[in-house]
A = this chain, B = another copy of it.
Amino acid sequence: MAVSFEELTKELKSKNIRLSHQRLKILEFIYNNKIHPTVDEIYKEIQKEIPTLSKTTVYNSLNALIDAGLVKVITIGEHESRYDIVTENHGHFKCDSCDKIIDFEIDIDAFASKELKDFEIIYKDVYFKGLCPDCNKMKNKNLK
């Protein structure tokens, strides 16, 4: 993790958010596995280490981490939410075939529109959808 445990806890204390064992594990998992996991994927993985884990805790923890500004929700899939660590601006590409979400570099801030000068913009997301290189290759092969 980029920030130390102490720094993190201190930063969170101002918001009355505790970095409990469960929450730390969840944060670690998202940080170490940049796969934009669903709640279910997080739950199943952490449950291996904490067998008493409840799914409600995963939801609660994620919401706490979101409030703390450490995690963000990706609503690119129409149904299940997926979660990502908050980092510099990047866009998300979701493959309609294999459901993978792939990061790509993008300077979202370059989009400062004059139209939005009176708006307070807090989040910026760029979502692309289509076929990833692997699935695209597969499709072209099958057409031959």
Chain A interface (Cβ within 8 Å of chain B)? 73, 75-78, 81, 91, 93, 96, 104-106, 111, 113, 115-116, 118-133, 136
User: Taking the full assembly, how many copies of this chain does it contain?
Assistant: 2
Distance in angstroms from A68 CB to nearest chain B CB is 17
Are the C-beta atoms of A113 and B104 separated by less than 8 Å? yes
Distance in angstroms from A100 CB to nearest chain B CB is 11
Distance in angstroms from A95 CB to nearest chain B CB is 8
Q: Complex Cα distance A129/B130, Å? A: 24
Distance in angstroms from A90 CB to nearest chain B CB is 10
Q: Complex Cα distance A123/B105, Å? A: 17
Which residues from B are CB-within-8-Å of A132?
A: 119
Distance in angstroms from A143 CB to nearest chain B CB is 13
Are the C-beta atoms of A131 and B125 separated by less than 8 Å? no
Query: Known contacts A111-B106, A118-B136, A133-B119: does B125 contact A127 (CB below 8 Å)?
Result: yes
Distance in angstroms from A134 CB to nearest chain B CB is 9
By beta carbon, the residue of chain B nearest A74 is B75
Which residues from B are CB-within-8-Å of A118?
A: 133, 136
